[in-house]
Amino acid sequence: MRVSNNLWSSLIESLVSVGDVARFLLRLTVGTPRALLRFGLVAEQIFNAGALSLVIIMLSGLFVGMVLGLQGFQLLQRFGSEDALGTATAIGLVKELGPVVTALLFAGRAGTALASEIGLMRATDQLSAMEMMAVDPIQRVVVPRFLGGVISMPLLAAIFSMIGIYGAQLIGVQIMHVDAGSFWSQMRASVGIRDINEGIVKSLIFGVACSLIAVFEGYNAEPTAEGVGRATTRTVVTSAVTTLFLDYLITAMFL
């Protein structure tokens, strides 16, 4: 009986928190047009969330692409179809690994930075001070950071996929001697706009989800060192699980 009661109350709790996040998203959406008018603030956050994540995204993209090149080559060689390596890696990167791995890396690099920054601003009364200066902290602090994340994510995913394909080419064509002509031409022939759209839709939705989780956790962090730490951890865990869950949903939708 107690177990079912606990289960029930934790179910209710998680529903309530989903409701809280949805309400928060609504507030951010309402604030978006005004924030876009002051684009300088958003641009600064695109730099923080996007440009500062470039190195980690590019390095990871290169290695993931190289692994795909190796594994793909081994597998395709068994069927004598190594020429399809370009297609296989491009589809894999553009539709799946690009958006998903970028989102996971984003959660770890930019998401944690957002959550801890906003959490610390709360803990050090900076948000209250803004409130007292008649400045809405959601509008001034949270919305630009949220938009910065949303705009950065598809760009980062595109860069990740691009570098990934370059990495696969490096292994496949340069080292394993797959024919360069067939590598590129097969890729161009079989990767369609629909595949690219799927990648863009995914990274946009992951961008909204990961940025929302990060700013929500930061804004609602308990104003103590421990609370900010917990918010940061929760940001990574929740973002990762949400990304993978949404990935499944969107993939199923695009089938």
In the complex with other proteins, the residue whose CB is nearer, 14 or 124, is: 124
Can you tell me which residue has the tokens 């799946």? 96
In the complex with other proteins, the residue whose CB is nearer, 59 or 135, is: 135
Interacting residue with other proteins among 14, 26, 131, 249 (CB under 8 A): 131
**Number of residues lying near other proteins (CB under 8 A):** 15
In the complex with other proteins, the residue whose CB is nearer, 29 or 124, is: 124
**DSSP element (H, E) containing 222:** none
User: With binding defined as CB under 8 A, does residue 140 bind other proteins?
Assistant: yes
Measuring CA to CA, which residue among 168, 205, 170 is closest to residue 92? 168
In the complex with other proteins, the residue whose CB is nearer, 34 or 177, is: 34
Please provide the distance, in angstroms rounded to a whole number, between the alpha carbons at the two ends of the chain: 42
Say how far apart CA 210 and CA 48 lie, in whole Å: 15
In the complex with other proteins, the residue whose CB is nearer, 70 or 120, is: 120
Minimal distance, residue 106 CB to other proteins, in Å = 21
User: With binding defined as CB under 8 A, does residue 125 bind other proteins?
Assistant: yes
Interacting residue with other proteins among 35, 88, 103, 121 (CB under 8 A): 121
Minimal distance, residue 150 CB to other proteins, in Å = 21
User: With binding defined as CB under 8 A, does residue 132 bind other proteins?
Assistant: yes
What are the start-end ranges of the E strands in 34-82?
none
Interacting residue with other proteins among 133, 193, 253, 255 (CB under 8 A): 133
User: With binding defined as CB under 8 A, does residue 9 bind other proteins?
Assistant: no
Long-range pairs, 246-252, Cβ under 8 A, ≥24: 246/202, 246/205, 246/206, 246/209, 247/96, 247/99, 247/100, 247/202, 247/206, 250/198, 250/201, 250/202, 250/205, 251/95, 251/96, 251/198
State both tokens at 52.
């500062």
Say how far apart CA 145 and CA 31 lie, in whole Å: 12
In the complex with other proteins, the residue whose CB is nearer, 120 or 196, is: 120
Say how far apart CA 54 and CA 106 lie, in whole Å: 10
Name the residues that contact other proteins, by CB under 8 A: 120-121, 124-126, 128-136, 140
